[in-house]
């Protein structure tokens, strides 16, 4: 979102109320719309989405809503897949859902494996997360707390 904004794109977010994502986005100056339920988000999209040029899902729940909303819009929709796990069953339903997206973006080869297995061609963007300098004290406390000092990780 920050990168898009730095390129002059107006970005708004739909997130769960009082979630860490919503809180960080608000503190960064983004407009955040709160949504807690599937149908609430679908109704919001139906009422308010005309002013947006594209839609982008980051969670499986939101991806499901956008795949249903696809039948009400011709605007581009995207899904960023960050995980490499899924239920072994319902592959046909997952493929149908993902086929509604103009593009699936995976943040790693592992996250891309399931879309590839289902015959889709995700775009792999290695890291959408900016690197963060670790804090040695925090790391040391974590290692001590979980009794990991001296172990191979």
Distance of alpha carbon 54 from alpha carbon 74, whole angstroms:
9
Instruction: Name every residue whose Cβ is closer than 8 Å to that of residue 112 and which is 6 or more positions away in sequence.
Output: 81, 106, 122, 124
Q: Quick one: which H or E segment has residue 105?
A: strand 103-106
Question: What burial class does residue 56 get, using C-beta atoms within 10 Å of its C-beta: 0-12 exposed, 13-18 middle, 19+ buried?
Answer: buried
Beta bridge partners of 85: none
Question: pLDDT tens per residue, the chain (153 residues)?
Answer: 888 889 999 998 888 888 888 899 999 999 998 887 889 889 988 988 888 899 988 888 888 999 999 999 989 999 988 887 777 777 888 899 999 999 999 988 989 999 999 999 999 987 656 677 888 999 899 899 998 888 877
The whole-angstrom separation of Cα 48 and Cα 50 is 6
pTM: 0.74
């Amino acid at each position: 979102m920050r990168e898009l904004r730095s390129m002059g794109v107006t970005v708004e977010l739909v997130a769960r109320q009082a979630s860490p994502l919503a809180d960080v986005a608000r503190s960064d100056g983004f407009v955040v719309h709160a949504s807690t339920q599937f149908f609430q988000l679908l109704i919001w999209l139906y009422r308010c989405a005309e002013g947006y040029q594209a839609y982008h899902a980051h969670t499986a729940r939101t991806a499901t809503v956008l795949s249903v909303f696809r039948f009400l819009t011709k605007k581009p929709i995207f899904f960023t897949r960050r995980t490499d796990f899924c239920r072994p069953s319902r592959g046909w339903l997952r493929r149908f859902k993902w086929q509604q997206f103009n593009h699936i973006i995976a943040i790693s080869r592992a996250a891309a494996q399931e879309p590839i297995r289902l015959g889709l061609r995700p775009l792999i963007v290695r890291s959408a997360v900016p690197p963060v300098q670790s804090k040695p004290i925090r790391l040391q406390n974590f290692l001590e707390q979980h009794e990991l000092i001296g172990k191979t990780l």
